[in-house]
Amino acid sequence: MSRFFDTRLSRLEAYTPGEQPRDMKYIKLNTNESPYPPSDGVIKALGEAELAKRLRLYPDPECLEVRTLLSVVLGVDKDELVLTNGSDEALSFAFMSFCEKGVIFPEISYGFYKVFAELYNLKYRQIPLKDDFSINADDYIGTDETVFIANPNAPTGLFLGLDEIERIVTSNKNRLVVVDEAYIDFGGVSAIPLTKKYDNLLVIQTFSKSRSMAGARLGFAVGCKDIIRDMNTIRYSTNPYNINSATLAAARAAVIDNDYYMENCKKIIETRAYTTKALCELGFEVLDSKCNFIFAKHKELDGEEYYLELKRRGVLVRHFTSERIRDYNRITIGTREMMDVLITQTREILAAKRG
């Protein structure tokens, strides 16, 4: 730390992204990226010479064309939608803007919530999950703090029914509920239609997972016009050009090619069922995931040992060290071929262990 670093930030524990090692070629099942390439339309759009020439100019700060196209797909008004640099930025804006009375979020959830709460110096409470790792909606009823819920939750993969989300939203109309739907396209049901009914609900999604665009950094938030106006006030006060021209060009094509991405989601859901079944047959316990990953443990294998053994064999998964989930690993769903390698290696690890 330099002597110039603000002392209020000196104890901040930054978010640790999943590892992106370059030492060898891994089967990468650790950061929930899509195994499928962007659509042909996206690849073509990014290859256009016109796009490269346009880099001379600033991008459209209103992102009008993409916002208009996307709002049609989502069934909302374009002014109920704001585009952000990854959904992390939408979360950042929400933590920055709507949390005067503090925040609550599940104890086991997306690690960035705690980082943002600390970065913005907010009071926060982390609410324990039930024994089966599900969220108990009752814990969020009758509270005043802004709620952040990842739905489906990560890294558990469990989905909380929309009736439960609605119960939390209606229990206190004077506080905001933020639903982070990064993984919604893999079998959950989106709360976006509820934003028409409730002005205290903000829904955040991303192009990083189901739309194969993690590297382009595009997320978005949907809520009533007043909330979106506030988000734009923050956006224009930090980085009005938060979506670059290349990402806008890719996003335009990705929205047009929506069907391609929804087909990929179906494939991932099928491969998730296939992988879950195979791992259960090998003695794993696998939570009921509605995401493009599964959360799994095996009673004969220490979580860290399984992660390290897989890594040694060229398969990368995500291991967390916090007490309650250290026996588990989060495994991204890749193609069927990638998952066959994981299953084969797992079988060998178990055989070696059993001697």
Minimum CB–partner distance for residue 177 and ligand PMP (Å): 15
Considering only residues 39, 71, 208, 242, which one is a binding residue for ligand PMP as defined by CB under 6 A? 208
Q: Is 182 among the residues that bind ligand PMP (CB under 6 A)?
A: yes
Angle between helices 112-119 and 86-97 (to 10 degrees): 40
Q: Tell me, residue by residue from 63 to 92, as one string, x for binding to ligand PMP by CB under 6 A and - for no binding.
A: -----------------------xxx----
Region near ligand PMP per CB under 6 A, out of 206-214, 247-255, 296-304, 324-332: 206-214
- Residue 348 Cβ, how far from ligand PMP at the closest point, in Å? 30
CB of 246 to ligand PMP, least distance (A): 16
Q: What is the DSSP string of 213-281?
A: -GGG--EEEE--HHHHHHHHHHHHHH-TT-S-HHHHHHHHHHHHTHHHHHHHHHHHHHHHHHHHHHHHH
Q: From the list 35, 38, 187, 219, which residue makes contact with ligand PMP (rule: CB under 6 A)?
A: 219
The answer to whether 110 contacts ligand PMP (rule: CB under 6 A) is yes
In the complex, the smallest distance separating the C-beta of residue 340 from ligand PMP, rounded to whole angstroms, is 25
| Residue located via tokens 């709002």 | 71
Closer Cβ to ligand PMP, 88 or 309, answer by number: 88
Indicate whether 156 belongs to the interface with ligand PMP (CB under 6 A): no
What tokens does 254 get? 């990705």
Question: What is the Cα–Cα distance from 289 to 300, expressed in whole angstroms?
Answer: 22
Nearest to 188 by CA among 168, 208, 210, 171: 210
Q: With contact defined as beta carbons under 8 Å apart, do 297 and 328 qualify? A: yes
State whether residue 313 is helix, strand or coil: coil
# residues contacting ligand PMP (CB under 6 A): 12
Among 33, 164, 180, 185, binds ligand PMP (CB under 6 A): 180
End-to-end CA distance of the chain: 48
> Residue 57 Cβ, how far from ligand PMP at the closest point, in Å?
26
Cβ contact 93:234 at 8 Å: yes
Residue 209 or 298 having the CB closest to ligand PMP: 209
Q: Which residue is nearest to ligand PMP (CB)?
A: 86
18 vs 41, beta carbon nearer ligand PMP: 18
Under the binding rule (CB under 6 A), the answer on residue 150 touching ligand PMP is yes
- CA–CA dist 157, 292 (Å, integer): 8
Pairing state between β 103-106 and 284-286: unpaired
- Regarding 254 and contact with ligand PMP (CB under 6 A), the answer is no
CB of 85 to ligand PMP, least distance (A): 8
Binding of residue 147 to ligand PMP (CB under 6 A) = no
Give the Cα separation of 183 and 205 in Å (integer): 8
Smallest gap from Cβ 49 to ligand PMP, in A, equals 28
| Under rule CB under 6 A, residue 264 binds ligand PMP | no
Helix (H) or strand (E) holding 96, with range, is helix 86-97
CB-hemisphere CA count at 13 Å for 290?
Answer: 18
Residue of 206, 247, 264, 276 that binds ligand PMP (CB under 6 A): 206
Crossing angle of helices 245-256/258-281, nearest 10°?
Answer: 80
Residues of this chain that bind ligand PMP (CB under 6 A): 86-88, 110, 150, 154, 180, 182, 206, 208, 214, 219
